[in-house]
């Protein structure tokens, strides 16, 4: 599981983690862009379609874990409720977990976002205003949530 603001490097880290043997990358951005790309225009659209995708993928991800594969879940673990959804999957599978938390400042993330937008290398673009709106929902993980957390405070 990966937690971090927009353009913190979640997908970059996910790709690196997915290079491990018997590991499958499951990327929210990949699936959303292919299933709903033309319909995703607003943050409300994202919330609606992301919720649908989580419902559709939960059982499949749990089955992959039960089959003994490692899953890099490149869905944003950016709110308590998203992390609780993820917990139901790994606990349902009886699997271990790690929460990778990219704890980078807003100015670093915004600079990366602008570079990513200009390069056209990501499925979605976001403005500074959209970054601010989405980041307003961000909830960093707390010790009380009980996750095995690996924190990154520098470039990965």
CATH of the domain at 7: 3.40.50.300
The per-residue pLDDT of the chain, averaged, comes to 93
132 SS3 class: helix
State yes or no: pLDDT of 26 exceeds 80. Answer: yes
Which tokens in the block code for residue 12? 């970059």
For residues 26 and 104, what is the distance between their CA atoms, to the nearest angstrom? 23
Overall number of domains in the chain: 1
Neighbours of 61 (CB within 10 A): 22
Query: Mean pLDDT over residues 107-114, rounded?
Result: 91
For residues 30 and 3, what is the distance between their CA atoms, to the nearest angstrom? 17
Q: Range of 131's domain?
A: 2-152
Rounded percentage of the chain residues whose pLDDT exceeds 90:
75
Q: Which tops the pLDDT comparison, 120 or 77?
A: 77
Q: Which letter does DSSP use for residue 145 in this model?
A: G
For residues 99 and 93, what is the distance between their CA atoms, to the nearest angstrom? 16
69: confidence class by pLDDT, cuts 50, 70, 90? very high
Q: Which tops the pLDDT comparison, 124 or 4?
A: 4
Please name the residues in contact with 95: beta carbons below 8 A apart, sequence gap of 6 or more: 65, 66
State yes or no: pLDDT of 41 exceeds 90. Answer: no
* pLDDT value of residue 51: 94
């Amino acid at each position: 599981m990966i937690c971090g603001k927009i353009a913190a490097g979640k997908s970059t880290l996910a790709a690196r983690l997915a290079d491990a043997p018997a590991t499958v990358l499951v990327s929210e951005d990949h699936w959303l862009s292919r299933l709903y790309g033309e319909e995703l225009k607003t943050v409300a659209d994202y919330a609606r379609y992301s919720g649908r995708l989580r419902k559709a993928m939960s059982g499949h991800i749990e089955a992959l874990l039960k089959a003994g594969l490692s899953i890099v879940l490149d869905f944003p673990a950016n709110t308590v409720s998203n992390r609780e959804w993820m917990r139901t999957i790994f606990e349902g599978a009886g699997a271990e977990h790690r929460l990778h938390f990219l704890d980078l400042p807003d100015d670093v993330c915004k600079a990366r976002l602008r570079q990513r937008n200009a390069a056209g290398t990501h499925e979605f673009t976001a403005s500074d205003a959209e970054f601010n709106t989405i980041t307003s929902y961000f909830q960093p993980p707390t010790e009380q949530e009980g996750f095995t957390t690996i924190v990154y405070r520098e470039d990965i």
